[in-house]
Amino acid sequence: DGGITQSPKYLFRKEGQNVTLSCEQNLNHDAMYWYRQDPGQGLRLIYYSQIVNDFQKGDIAEGYSVSREKKESFPLTVTSAQKNPTAFYLCASRRTGVNQYEQFFGPGTRLTVL
Amino acid sequence: AQSVTQLDSHVSVSEGTPVLLRCNYSSSYSPSLFWYVQHPNKGLQLLLKYTSAATLVKGINGFEAEFKKSETSFHLTKPSAHMSDAAEYFCVVSDTMDSSYKLIFGSGTRLLVRP
């Protein structure tokens, strides 16, 4: 089955630590996204990548970093500079092309700062 | 700028009764609109999408939505609620004028289904 996998499902971080969230897709999609979800709110865009070796900041990129070395992988690092990292993180991908706006989501990673 | 407003943060219905989740959008051009559903601690699943082909859009699990340009609305309906429909629902617009094609989310409506 094609889809998006995220790991781990739950992640605990101590103050001052960097942590990396994994996102892998086998849908052969060019574009990938990271969103953050806080309780009672919709999702907000952190970073996105439209092609391998290229990525752009989204609306709330401060304190986060990404890489896109392979088409199927788009890991997100939450750095110690992120002041309030406790949230639910969702990865998504999109097929590029004319009128291709739908995004497919992974199951998410819940990050808690201790 | 594009945006969506979900008019109800919570909706409660009895099993077997109709469901109506309301969404208004703001866009200066023809939008691409979606409804996604999220069950607790899960990712988002696409229910349906509007991309200007037809104003009445049918989705999965018996849901449908009607695009009304004159009212700038895209309300989600289902004739008969099932217990498994209890979840968070998001009305979403794709920012097709932004190079990211990012999705812009409403704040969500939590659907409660009473036995």
Q: How confident is the model over B38-52, as pLDDT tens digits?
A: 998 888 999 999 987
Long-range contacts (CB closer than 8 Å, 24 or more residues apart) made by A52-57: A56/B99, A56/B100
Please indicate whether residue B66 or residue A101 has the higher confidence score (pLDDT): B66
Model confidence over B88-107: pLDDT tens digits? Answer: 999 999 887 787 888 999 99
pLDDT at B102: 86
State the Cα–Cα distance between residues B102 and A48, nearest whole angstrom.
Answer: 8
- Chain B positions touching A40 (Cβ under 8 A) are 9, 107-108
pLDDT-derived band at B63 (thresholds 50, 70, 90) equals very high
Q: Which residues contact A32 (CB under 8 A, 6 or more apart)?
A: A23, A25, A48, A49, A68, A74, A91, A92, A93, A94
As a whole number of angstroms, the distance between CA A11 and CA A79 comes to 14
Chain A partners within 8 Å of B30 (Cβ): none
State pLDDT tens for residues A47-106.
999 999 999 999 999 999 999 999 999 999 999 888 899 999 999 999 988 778 899 999
Cβ contact, residue pair A42, B106, below 8 Å: yes
Checking if the pLDDT of A1 tops 70, the result is no
Distance from CA of A60 to the nearest CA of B (A): 13
Do the chains contact at A99 and B51, CB–CB below 8 Å?
Answer: yes
**Parallel, antiparallel, or unpaired: how do β-strands A10-13 and A109-113 relate?**
parallel
CB contact under 8 A, A101 and B43: no
Interchain CB contacts (distance < 8 Å): A and B = 66
